[in-house]
Amino acid sequence: MVEGGFTKLFQKRSLVRFTQKYQPLGSAEPEEESQEECELKVIEQEKEVTVLPPKDACKCHKEDLAKALNVDLHTGLSENSVLQRRLKHGWNEFSVDNTEPIWKKYLDQFKNPLILLLLASALVSVITNEYEDAASITVAVLIVVTVAFIQEYRSEKSLEELNKLVPPECNCLREGKLQHLLARELVPGDIIYLSVGDRVPADLRLIEVTDLLVDESSFTGEAEPCNKTDGVLLEAGDITTLSNVVFMGTLVRYGKGKGIVIGTGENSQFGEVFKMMQAEETPKTPLQKSMDRLGKQLTLFSFGIIGLIMLIGWLQGKHLLSMFTIGVSLAVAAIPEGLPIVVTVTLVLGVLRMAKKRVIVKKLPIVETLGCCNVICSDKTGTLTANEMTVTRLVTSDGFQAEVSGVGYNGEGNVYLLPSKEILKEFSNVSVGKLVEAGCVVNNAIIRKNSVIGQPTEGALIALAMKMELADIKDIYVRKKEIPFSSEQKWMAVKCMLKNQDQEDVYFMKGAFEEVIRYCTMYNSSGISLTLTPQQKAIYQQEEKRMGSSGLRVLALASGPELGKLTFLGLVGIIDPPRAGVREAVQVLFESGVSVKMITGDALETAVAIGQNIGLCNGKLKAMSGEELDQLAEAELSATVTNVSIFFRTSPKHKLKIIKALQRAGAVVSMTGDGVNDAVALKSADIGIAMGQAGTDVSKEAANMILVDDDFSTVMNAIEEGKGIFYNIKNFVRFQLSTSISALSLITLSTVLNLPNPLNAMQILWINIIMDGPPAQSLGVEPVDRDTIKQPPRCITDTILSKSLILKIFMSAVIIISGTLFVFWKENPGSGITPRTTTMTFTCFVFFDLFNALTCRSQTKLIFEIGFFRNRMFLYSVLGSFLGQLAVIYVPPLQKIFQTENLGVLDLLFLTGLASSVFIVSELAQKPCFLQGRCRSRDKCQKVNGNGRNLEEKAVRTWSLSGN
């Protein structure tokens, strides 16, 4: 586009010079000078053009606005003007400055403290000439960082595929011609034409409108489209009140319009949110914090071992350097290099399982963070609700009431007469049939492929007619005249006549009850028109207020031979209903200790109605407005927000305040949303969850997770995965540390007490393979326990190495050390260590290891409760290790390498019985320890977070189920 513009400019200049070539010299120079002066003057004028904030532009007359932006309203901008403005204002798009190259993303994986600790131990191994250890540690580290990098890179690519939408286009007036352009090419001052279905390409000040309705739900959270005008506003409030301005990214639902571009790219309202989002830093996940703490604990443990060994050696009079070397070797061996691999593999498997459930996870640690989540803040429109207006209630003029099932524009569902629950079709009930007929005829919407073209409210009336099998009834009428809806009159009417019949014309009207009833003199009673009395009017008015107070948008319908003599037909209640499965999900989350809060830009009545419908906080609702939020100080806000279930009339800044206040109160906050107004909160939350289909690009960019099918109930699955992953990591840590402590203790005791070493170097290497190899790794892939979702959220102050876990580790280690030393003592003839002694001791330790792995499969249940055969990979790993141990004992070449000899069947049975003691004791101790530990953990979390079921007890404003 830029090259094209410069080419045209060059051609123009060349043409001027070509025509001047045959003119007298004296006359050519002044003309060329004046031409250049003119162009310089234009360039200077273009440099002075600045973007106008919406709150200033809305107060300007269109002529003043055109003058300020230096544009002709009838011809638009010239190509030269466009080029000059683009040099100053840039393209109409967002540039992400912090896009990192692939190599830097790969190197960032090395920032994990545990990875750095392992690299340090590899360096120490090189210094002490332990090259094999250094090589194995380095390989382990490379595997970990590469797997993590590949998975995160794949997630980013999945997100890019999700975002590959059709590039936004627009109709723009330039050089007197209407051109079809990409939205990114627009500059301030461009004239844009809007029609139904268009996505607004930039911030526009409207200069002409015809029945223009714009869906601004992605900005404001309001489900109902906004009525737009082209008049000058005297006062400018917040963005929801700027009726003559439309914003980038919003959708034209009805009518048409024309506007001047006042803001592009980062200078648009959309861009303001984008800049706020870019400035917001993503917080560290609880798993990252836990791994940081674990890395520090292991570092202190390592230095403790080195110091202890050196102290004992110095007291024994041994050479300090040799004792330092032994201490460093033991410390390196104590660091579980398999831990990062297990953590990464466990997270990757969690991500892959979530991908099968249509959830994209952008960063690996986020999966586990969901296990700590104790507050979910959710946007209402498009997240908890379907963002599809639906008729849910009918009241006819003669007192019949009906409820409507089904959501959206697919026509699925039924109309049930109350209280009999009889399913109504066509005119099986004349009064309901006539009410539905009127809504279908006085209507301009079209439903195509389950989506509405036109106003969502009118789409809801068409969907209602489809459920009653009356969708084609409008075809029997010929429309002769339409009186369009306007915000002043608050009603719409059409004048029709029946096809092929010489009957008088009939009017159909819909609109606000107080306006429609003014045109009515009769009311319908089973197809017969009766005189409308003041008492009847009062009954209808009372019914209309009752429906409105329950959050429904109420439309009145009437028909008759002429305006002013209409027959009142009844009332229709419309709402943006909850998504399927949301109520059940909210209930399960509440029972598991997760508080769900609704944040919306909607009015109080609508928000409360949806809150009650989805069972928010078991119906005990407390609500607070954005205005009330602004009046609270920071400390007071943190204490108050934990007790509120619904926040209404909120802006993006309010959402951010709520998230920050909850985090200050100690909560781990998840935010779900789909709009531009959710983006900043999505990024600042501990877990940002965006909608894949309805979500805007900016919300998906800000989020950590994407729900591809927009299904809120999949959040439950994600939380379940998060809890399961942390438990699996703890299982692995328990196994590996108990094994490594046992091995280190044996070596340390023999070194300190000048005893012969019970295990040789090759045997220690084999034990290390089991410790970091398949049996250990398979603990990380233990399927998520079915009861996991019922457990309360993990407290963020809990470390991986909790007190109860340390006790279990040392209990297992003591049993393993005692049993192994017993066998070593029993098989030691006193004349020196024999191959049988080391074989029995070595095999005993390995068998202890395998039984220890079996009991480490769960921290909460006995092995028979979780299912012995549930983790097949674990069984294959243990079986492989057992067969490998038999090969080491009985295969001659391996006997030479490992210095072993054959053992009898009774020997193996004895060792199996002895080694099983670690499994039996751990299983017996497991249940009571867990119950006590969880109670303490839950108590501590409630103190820190103020969460749990008592979280919502204090009321800011209480609403009973009746809506009073």
d(CA 942, CA 593) in angstroms, rounded, equals 10
d(CA 886, CA 383) in angstroms, rounded, equals 58
Structure tokens at 112: 């994990």
d(CA 675, CA 379) in angstroms, rounded, equals 9
Q: Are 200 and 184 in contact (CB under 8 A)?
A: no
Structure tokens at 353: 């399982």
Which residue do the tokens 């692995």 mark? 732
524 secondary structure, DSSP code: E
Residue 690, burial from CB neighbour count under 10 angstroms (0-12, 13-18, 19+): buried
Residue 385 pairs in a beta bridge with 578
Helix/strand/coil (H/E/C) assignment for every residue in 620-679: CEEEEEHHHHHCCCHHHHHHHHCCCCEEECCCHHHHHHHHHHHHHCCCCEEEEECCHHHH
Backbone angles phi, psi at 224, to 5 degrees: -85, 130
Using DSSP, state whether 631 is helix, strand or coil: coil
Strand 646-648 and strand 566-575: the pairing is unpaired
Backbone angles phi, psi at 923, to 5 degrees: -65, -40
Q: Are 429 and 526 in contact (CB under 8 A)?
A: no
Which residue do the tokens 């901008």 mark? 77
Using DSSP, state whether 59 is helix, strand or coil: coil
Element (H, E) at 727: helix 714-752
Residues contacting residue 640 through CB under 8 Å, at least 6 positions apart: 624, 632, 661, 956
In the chain, what's the furthest Cα-to-Cα distance? Answer: 124
Q: Are 180 and 171 in contact (CB under 8 A)?
A: yes
956 secondary structure, DSSP code: S
Q: Are 50 and 163 in contact (CB under 8 A)?
A: no
190, 198, 215, 379: the catalytic one is 379
d(CA 36, CA 433) in angstroms, rounded, equals 74
Q: Are 626 and 654 in contact (CB under 8 A)?
A: yes
Query: Distance of CA 79 to CAs 11, 87, 316, Å?
Result: 13, 13, 90
Q: Are 646 and 608 in contact (CB under 8 A)?
A: yes
Strand arrangement of the beta sheet that strand 375-379 belongs to: 359-361, 705-707, 687-691, 669-673, 375-379, 595-599, 646-648, 621-625, 958-959
72 secondary structure, DSSP code: B
Half-sphere exposure for 124 (CA within 13 Å, toward CB): 20
Which residue do the tokens 């802006």 mark? 651
d(CA 77, CA 172) in angstroms, rounded, equals 10
97 has catalytic annotation: no
Element (H, E) at 365: helix 365-369
| Among candidate residues 587, 608, 654, 663, the one with its CA nearest the CA of residue 375 | 663
Residues contacting residue 544 through CB under 8 Å, at least 6 positions apart: 513, 554, 556, 571
Residue 621 pairs in a beta bridge with 959
d(CA 934, CA 772) in angstroms, rounded, equals 29
Residue 77 pairs in a beta bridge with 174
Residue 236, burial from CB neighbour count under 10 angstroms (0-12, 13-18, 19+): middle
Query: Rg of the chain's alpha carbons, rounded to an integer?
Result: 37
End-to-end CA distance of the chain: 60
Active site residues: 379
